[in-house]
Structure 1
Amino acid sequence: MASLGKKILSAFVDMDDSTPTEPAPAATQHVSRPHTAVPQAPPAGTDNGSSKFSEHFNRLFADANLPGPDYYEFWKMTEAMQAIADEKARFCAAFAGLQVQGLDKQKLLSSAQQYLQILEADAAAFNNTIDQTLLEKVQSRKKEMAGTQEKIQQLSQEIIRLQQHTEVLTQEIAANEAKIESSTAGYATALAASKNKILQNIDKIYTHIS
């Protein structure tokens, strides 16, 4: 799972694990309706790469698409029917089109739950990678910077070289923290939006489809 998360994150954050080099010295069936909590999306205002993560989720759903018509085809069909202003009519039309292919309400809802589980697994892999990346690209850099500052006091003849190295490390820490924070916020925005869409559609399926 960690490798999956790293693959996700590497599309948006530099994942080069190489250690920086110091500079050289100067020189239809009735289904009971479950209670679902809809996650809140982070405040809007900045993209934070959420559009790229949305593309990731689209690919994730396409790759995991279950055999036969299910929630994925229903979702795509309702998206393609945006010209139909009435939401109930849109949902019912999409369901009717897929019903002739063997889709029923129970399968529609159960497959929606499966896509939610896919999102949860993807989020777990992503968050695990974020934790590892923080350790590798931020904490290790901070530790190295502390050692560099100690060398500055002990080795006065290398002050210039070590100060240059400290500046580089400081910039790397700031850049990596900014990238990680931006990617985490972007992922959370896209994740919450995807979850909200599925959960809202589940509620609408119960409301609109008998």
Structure 2
Amino acid sequence: MPETDKSLGRKILSFFVKEEDAGTATGTPPVVASAAPRPSAPASVPSSPTPNTSPAAPPSNTGTTTTGVVDPKFAEHFANVLAQNNPPGPDYFEFRETLRSLSNLGLPEDKQFQAAWASFKALAGPAFAGAGNATVLTNTANGYISALNKDRDGFGKSVEAALAERVGGLQNEQKRLQTENDTLAKQLVEIQKQIDANTNRLTAITGEITDQSGKITQNQQNYESTFAHFIDQIKSDIAKMNQYLT
């Protein structure tokens, strides 16, 4: 932005927002301050400030509504928008400066506006000397409103893009993680079923081991007893053969 526009932007910023007003709730009446000289020709509307797309904490589910505040960076941005859309010659801002100069005289509001209009026409020169109404003021004031609305439209689009990029991405991640958790939960159920089945089988196996061990041991003992009976019978026969047949 050219230095002239920067200077004008700072003056317009002080016209609308005093330093102590930054951070107050949106809807606070603007503070009237001094207007400023005009650049020689109008300039184009600056691009809207980019919304903050840094990661933020998840939104609260408490149902509370967030209230906006007068943000210094946006106040400066709007002042620059107005400065860049300021036409040459006297207009709404000069009138407001004149009106401000009368604010401490104790006049009723209607008298302030009437006196400011008369003073503005005198200061503006012959071009406004015979002006019967304030059309030039309302036209330029509406022009500033149009410039701010245009900037707001651009900012709204940038907000939508930021939401699609950041919030949309987070929502997709949220769905993915929830799906993974659901899948893992199902797997845990199946794993627990398998653990329960294995535990039941382990209990059954313990009884089977005791039963089979007993049977095998008994079978071994029967074998040894039968073996000993045969050996003893044969040895007895051998001894008798040696005794009776020799």
TM-score (norm 2): 0.41
Larger Rg: 2
Point out which structure has higher relative CO (alpha carbons under 8 A, 6+ apart).
1
TM-score (norm 1): 0.47
